[in-house]
Structure 1
Amino acid sequence: MSDRRLLPRIARVLLPLLVLGCAAGVAVWFIKTKPAPKKKKHQESASVVELLVATTAAHKVTVEAMGVVTPVEDVVLQSEVTGLIVWKHPNLVAGGLVRQGDTLLRVDARNYEAAVKQQQAAFEKAKVDYQLELSRSEVAAEEWEMMGRQKSEVRGQQSEVGSRAVGKRSRALALREPQLRAAEVAVQAASNALVRAELDVERTHITAPFNAVVLDEFVDRGQLVSPQTRLAELAGTDAFRIEASLPVRDLQWMTRPDDQGAGGPSATVLHDIGTDASQ
């Protein structure tokens, strides 16, 4: 019984060893019998190139940059007169385009037109008053000369000298020169008042000062405006200003003014590196 139990144990130990030995033998046989690698001749390879002669020429260099575009002309329209808005340009909206001289808004001008008529009447009256005073002055001058001749005939030479001294002092009053001067000043004042009244009528038409795009508008029809009231904001469309930032490496492609100020682009170049800035 003991021999029968011993044989299976020996078989379990020897069988794996036998398999490992066979595998090792097969591996050694494959290593020894593998074909030797074939030797190949090394072939040198060369790149095909084309030889060119370098020449100098002028070329345009495109430098891309991000910048901010701002209009050269930018204005906020304000009213110069008081009144109701009675008309508004259809393009007076954000983004609308208007041309120089276009009427954008109209203020009720009836009161100002009435003021013009009133000042015209005052101006005409002042001119009539001046003409009347001028006629009075001419009559007074004739009377003054007549009185002087009569006194000379009646009185002696001594009295004539005295009358001339008195006449020299009072001649201006006798000829109504102060009244004539006052009438002349009144005509000028009435003329100036008429001009101001006519200007107020013109100011009821708010026009575009230049070709522009409407950035914003702040009023509408029927709204009461007064001097200094903000009406609209316009930006000119004829000229713009661009402010762009470039890396230092791209400045080599730009012609900058030299120390004598000759040459350079039609732009302001600000060179800013850290705390060192130059223009």
Structure 2
Amino acid sequence: MNKKLLYPLIVLVLGIGLAVLIALNPPRTVPEAYEPLVATVRVIKAEPKAEYLTVTSQGTVEPRSQSELIPEVSGRAVWISPALVGGGSFKQDDVLLRIDDADYRSALVRSEAALKRAEVEFDFAQDELKRTQSLRDKNLASQQQLDNARRASWVAEANLSESRAALDQAARDLARTKLTAPFDGLVRNEQVDLGQFVTRGQSIGTIYATDYMEVRLPIAADQLAYLGLPPSTRGQIPKAMRPPVTVAADFGNTRLLWEGELIRGEAEFDARSRMLYGVARLRTDSSDEGGLPLPVGMFVQAEIRGRKVDNIIRLPRSAMRDNNQVMVIDADDRLHFRRVSILRLEHDDMLIDGGLAAGELVCVSPLQTVVEGMRVKPVIEEDRTP
């Protein structure tokens, strides 16, 4: 056979044989190791702490004391204080209004003169009674004369008492021509002009005290327990039991705070809202901005600090699952459901008083699919103490 044909034929036979060998013994593929995906979750370490339970409320600022300015004598207004205008400021015992006192001075002089006459008449009647009694003892005066002298003495004594009372009244009326402030405060409104004739009992304005302000705060019945107050709370709260109150108001972009305390509860629950109204008293100079006054009529938010509770774990509400359960991560990074005791739900948080131990990791990520015992990768959140 021609060598030129032999070599290609050998190569072809070897190629076919190699192909058949590979087909009969294919290479085995070694499968790669598979690792399941592990979800990364945010967790919070359970840290029991003492917590003050708080109750939020709101209300309108009102003055502690408000009075009508009412003169006790009649007359023409001859002087009005510059402070007696809406918003005017005054101190206790400042004179706010003067009434023409000419007639009252005259009345005082007449009363003084009447008293002197009464004193003279009383002294004369007393001397006459003594003289008549002496004559009667000597049988130089009749019993009738003695009785008349006694009656004259009694009448003179009564006239003296009446004259003294009249003088006191005249002095008081003269003093009342000056209308003075009963406390430090502000003027809400005024209703008098210079030269106007004012009558006794006529209101000429309204003033209010500025040492304290009050806010009526609606409180639900179940919230009273958080404050450590019984549902039967009415009237003045004992000093030692008064919960501290912080009220807040916004001035533009600035939030200001004032401090006070809950001093009393009103007599009955509101029939419509089922709320009990508590009254907080606040010092007007207790703001955190150097004693900025608390304006009357302002709507404020209030936080009432209640009783202190130990061993409370604060968690965000995002940690709560159905049936009061949370998800706890064990030492092997596996997730488990745990039922807990919830003391209270707040706006963003919940307070846990049972079911968790200190140091346990609680998942706060909103997982869509959760399987008991599934492995996760926990990432501890930073401290979120409120």
Q: Distance in 2 between matches of 1:222 and 1:51?
A: 75
Of the structure 1 ranges 255-264 and 114-123, higher mean CA displacement relative to structure 2 is found in 255-264
Which of 207, 210, 213 matches 2:180?
Answer: 207
- Give 1:103's match in structure 2, choosing from 77, 95, 110: 95
Q: 1:216-263: CA deviations, max 9, x gaps?
A: 0000211111111111101221222212346899x3894152368696
Secondary structure (helix, strand or coil) at the match of 2:83 reads coil
Letter in 2 for 1:222: G
**In structure 2, what is the Cα distance between the partners aligned to 1:123 and 1:51?**
89
Look up the match of 1:229.
Answer: 202
Instruction: Report the Cα distance in structure 2 between the residues aligned to 1:274 and 1:181, rounded to whole angstroms.
Output: 66
In 2 relative to 1, CA 57–126 (structure 1 residues): closer, same or farther, beyond 3 Å? same
Change (3 A) 1:144 1:109: same
AA matched with 1:57:
A
Structure-1-length-normalised TM-score: 0.66
Contact 1:255-1:264 within 8 A present in 2 as well: no
Q: Does 1:179 align with 2:176?
A: no
1:274 and 1:237 mapped to 2: Cα distance?
32
Whole-angstrom CA distance in 2 between matches of 1:278 and 1:214: 31
Aligned to 1:170: 144
Aligned mate of 1:57, from 32, 42, 50: 50
Structure 2 residue 265 is matched with structure 1 residue 268: yes
| Matched positions, count | 220
In structure 1, the gaps of 5 or more residues are 1-40, 149-165
Question: Which residue type is aligned with residue 242 of structure 1?
Answer: V
Relative to its length, the structure with more strand (as a share) is 2
Q: CA distance change for structure 1 residues 52 and 42 in 2, over 3 Å: closer, same or farther?
A: closer
Equivalent-residue separation in structure 2 for 1:193 and 1:186 (angstroms): 10
TM-score (norm 2): 0.49
Structure with bigger gyration radius? 1
Q: 1:80: how far off?
A: 1.1
- Bigger drift between 262-271 and 54-63 goes to 262-271
Which residue of structure 2 aligns with residue 84 of structure 1?
76
State the superposition RMSD in angstroms: 3.5
Q: How many percent of aligned residue pairs carry the same amino acid?
A: 24
Counterpart of 2:59?
67
> Structure 2 vs 1, CA of residues 233 and 145 (structure 1 numbering), >3 Å: closer, same or farther?
same
2:114 aligns with 122
SS of residue in 2 equivalent to 1:76: strand
220, 225, 229: which one aligns with 1:257: 229
Cα contact 2:224–2:231 (8 A) shared by 1? no
- Shift of the 52–73 alpha-carbon distance from structure 1 to 2, 3 Å rule, reads same
Deviation, structure 1 residue 145 = 2.8
| Structure 1 residue 182: Cα displacement | 0.9
Q: Partners in 1 of 2:220 and 2:124 — Cα distance?
A: 81
The structure with the largest helix share of the pair is: 1
CA distance in 2, matches of 1:189, 1:272: 53
Mapped contact 2:220–2:276 kept (Cα < 8 A) = no
